[in-house]
Amino acid sequence: MTIKYPILKHWFYWLLSFGLLSVIYGTAYDSYELGAKVILMLLPVHMFYFYLITYWVLPRFFFRDKYVKTFLLLLLLLPVIAVLYRLDEIFISNPYIFHYYTTRHIKVDWPEMNQSWFKQLLRPLDFANAIERTNTVVWICVTLRFFILWNERKQAVLQAELNFLKGQLHPHFLFNSLNNLYALSLDNAPQTPGIILGLSNILRYVLYECTAERVLLKRDIEVLNDYIELEKLRYEDRLELNVNINDQVGNAKIAPLLMLPLVENAFKHGAAETTDMPWINIELYVTGDNLAFKISNSKPEQPDTNSSGQKVNGEIGLLNLRKRLELLYPGKHSFRYFDESDCFIAELNVQLSSNNKK
């Protein structure tokens, strides 16, 4: 989970850096008060260096694939920032440290303080230390920044893929629903008005409520039951239907539209194509945080010669479901199906989240 407010991330990092550096410098100076004050004097240089890299060098050059220019510019910045850091030390932090010790009658052997600022600036060892200190702090921060950007882009890509997969379900379900209504209207079936009302409720859920990443499982089960009731109206006594659904699920949440495509598949590619007495068995149980869903349906002994396209569509739906599960529940689900000659069986297990989890 990423922090929603970017300014809080910056405050958090710089406060953490200030605390750690204050401890390190305070130990070296034998005074945490002095260490904290020195870091406050030097921290603006680190911050300037970091924001120069992350908000100018990287966006303008690195993210535009200008890698050579990025490398050369970073090389140029090394001595420039080191000079800025040394000037900060020479004119601000070092005089303060010297004053801190002398006012406390602590003898300090620091001959460099009697030299001119230019001679102090040219001291090679101090200059090398400045390069090391500035880059250690800043590049840790830049690395964290890269990791955050990578994670945010990864999440954006996953969300886009999920939206695409979910978007495939909506027109697919709507198309099948319209086909069912068309078939009923041709026969002037008396069930048509009731089916239209039930479908409107299901479509409202599919098109509007399913935009959330997680929905209440009990709501998902309600829609599942509504769909089953609609199909029972269509088939009347021509279908042997066994449904065992445990709807005592509390406030558990689940990603929407995981089970409905499997149920729809059973009616469309199983019951609708079976000329003899078709059958469908549906079982749904919740134990603790685990949901177990199993559905099986009969298949025609002699497949319709025109059913190859429907079979492909069914397989695409199963692949869609498998991909969504991999993205939404990595390592927290199992999904398998068995396509036998006379029946089709699908088993889904998902580790659920409670109401206070996302």
Same domain, 201 and 332: yes
Residue 35 domain flag: yes
Same domain, 22 and 126: yes
Query: If you average pLDDT over residues 116-120, what whole number do you get?
Result: 91
| Per-residue pLDDT at 97 exceeds 60 | yes
Whose CA is closest to 84, among 42, 141, 114? 42
Q: What is the reported pLDDT for 236?
A: 73
**Final residue of a structural domain among 106, 128, 152:** 152
Residue 168 domain flag: no
For helices 124-186 and 308-328, what crossing angle results, to 10°?
140
| Per-residue pLDDT at 1 exceeds 50 | no
Q: How confident is the model at residue 304 (pLDDT cuts 50, 70, 90)?
A: low
Q: Number of C-alpha atoms within 13 angstroms, CB side, residue 350?
A: 26
User: CA-CA distance, 232 to 221, in Å (whole number)?
Assistant: 16
CATH of the domain at 339: 3.30.565.10
Residue 205 domain flag: yes
Same domain, 228 and 337: yes
Same domain, 123 and 205: no
Mean residue pLDDT of the chain comes to 82
Q: What is the reported pLDDT for 63?
A: 81
Residue 356 domain flag: no
Give the burial class of 74: count Cβ atoms within 10 A of its Cβ; 0-12 exposed, 13-18 middle, 19 or more buried.
middle
Residue 358 domain flag: no
| Per-residue pLDDT at 174 exceeds 80 | no
Same domain, 24 and 102: yes
| Per-residue pLDDT at 184 exceeds 80 | no
Same domain, 256 and 134: no
Q: What is the reported pLDDT for 126?
A: 92
Same domain, 133 and 22: yes
Backbone region of residue 117 per phi and psi (left: phi > 0; alpha: psi in -120 to 50; beta: other values): alpha
Q: How confident is the model at residue 88 (pLDDT cuts 50, 70, 90)?
A: very high
pLDDT in tens, 15-55: 988 998 899 999 988 899 999 999 999 999 999 999 999 88
Q: What percent of the chain has pLDDT over 70?
A: 81
Same domain, 91 and 232: no
| Angle at alpha carbon of residue 265, lines to 300 and 163, rounded to 5° | 155
| Per-residue pLDDT at 111 exceeds 70 | yes
Q: How confident is the model at residue 197 (pLDDT cuts 50, 70, 90)?
A: confident
Q: Please tell me the total count of domains within the chain.
A: 2
Residue 172 domain flag: no
User: CA-CA distance, 265 to 246, in Å (whole number)?
Assistant: 21
Q: What is the reported pLDDT for 3?
A: 46
Q: How confident is the model at residue 149 (pLDDT cuts 50, 70, 90)?
A: confident
Residue 102 domain flag: yes
Same domain, 84 and 195: no
Same domain, 38 and 99: yes
Q: What is the reported pLDDT for 129?
A: 92
Residue 316 domain flag: yes
| Per-residue pLDDT at 176 exceeds 70 | no
> What residue numbers bound the domain in which 80 lies?
6-152
**Final residue of a structural domain among 128, 152, 176:** 152
C-beta separation of 224 from 259 below 8 A: yes
Q: What is the reported pLDDT for 2?
A: 44
Query: If you average pLDDT over residues 218-237, what whole number do you get?
Result: 84
Same domain, 32 and 135: yes
Q: How confident is the model at residue 206 (pLDDT cuts 50, 70, 90)?
A: confident
Question: What are the CA-CA distances from residue 304 to residues 78, 275, 315 (Å)?
Answer: 73, 10, 16
Query: If you average pLDDT over residues 227-247, what whole number do you get?
Result: 83
Same domain, 142 and 196: no
Q: What is the reported pLDDT for 84?
A: 96
